[in-house]
Amino acid sequence: MFIPSHFHDPDLARAQTAIRAHPFALLISPHAGEVHLTWLPFLLDAARGPQGTLEAHLARTNPHAAAIIAGAPSTVAFLGPHGYLSPRWYADPSRQVPTWNYLAVHAHGRPQPVEEPAPLLALVAKLVATQEATVRPPWSIGEAQHYAEQLAGQIVGFRLEIERLEQQRKLSQNKPAADRVGVLAALAGRPQDAALLAAMRELYREDGSAR
């Protein structure tokens, strides 16, 4: 991923926080002359490996599964808050052009398949438990154990230990404080951009200065 120096963020903890907050990501795996792309929900195990390990599963009928089983070098692309910025929001709109602010994390590594029934069901149970944490009362895979065991043969689980992690936080770091003030004020009036506003407020005070 091309990351201009203004926007490069090497902070591992922030990258892991972004992954957890936006777990639905694009898995990209070149294999056997094709590039396979599949959107999947991922679980981050931060304690497994220096930069963490991603866990997920996909349908065995998906051609992408062959790349997973082969351990093809892969990238998982996570997209966080993002949104359009109008030149109208800057101090001098005549000297600006439209742009887009966003947060993105790319995790690179080689997937290791998990196909044995017991470990595969354990992996799926972890994924389910993470997503069910906000459901009351939460559902557990044990409520459909027999059905889940029947379906296990139809999926391929995998773990991808992160070998390289890239994080780009393009949040107006290359703009002066006066321009940031205008962007913050504009975003505050746009409910659809609440997440982007929150990400920018992590970096800037109301006067546009860096925290």
Q: Which domains does the chain have, with CATH numbers?
A: 5-173 (2.30.110.10)
- Between the alpha carbon of residue 168 and those of residues 15, 33, 126, 133, 202, the distances in Å are 9, 29, 28, 29, 15
* Residue 103 near residue 18, CB atoms below 8 Å: yes
- What is the predicted pLDDT for the residue at 129? 95
* Side chain identity, residue 70: A
- Between the alpha carbon of residue 187 and those of residues 8, 18, 182, 191, the distances in Å are 23, 20, 9, 8
Over residues 40-96, the pLDDT tens digits come to 999 999 999 999 999 999 999 999 999 999 999 999 999 999 999 999 999 999 999
- What is the predicted pLDDT for the residue at 159? 98
Structure tokens of 146? 């027999």
- What is the predicted pLDDT for the residue at 123? 96
- What is the predicted pLDDT for the residue at 198? 97
Q: What residues contact residue 24 under an 8 Å CB cut-off, 6+ apart?
A: 39, 40, 41, 42
Ranges of the chain whose pLDDT falls below 50:
none
Q: Concatenated DSSP letters for 147-160?
A: HHHHHGGGEEEEEE
- What is the predicted pLDDT for the residue at 14? 95
Helix axes 177-188, 194-203, angle to 10 degrees: 150
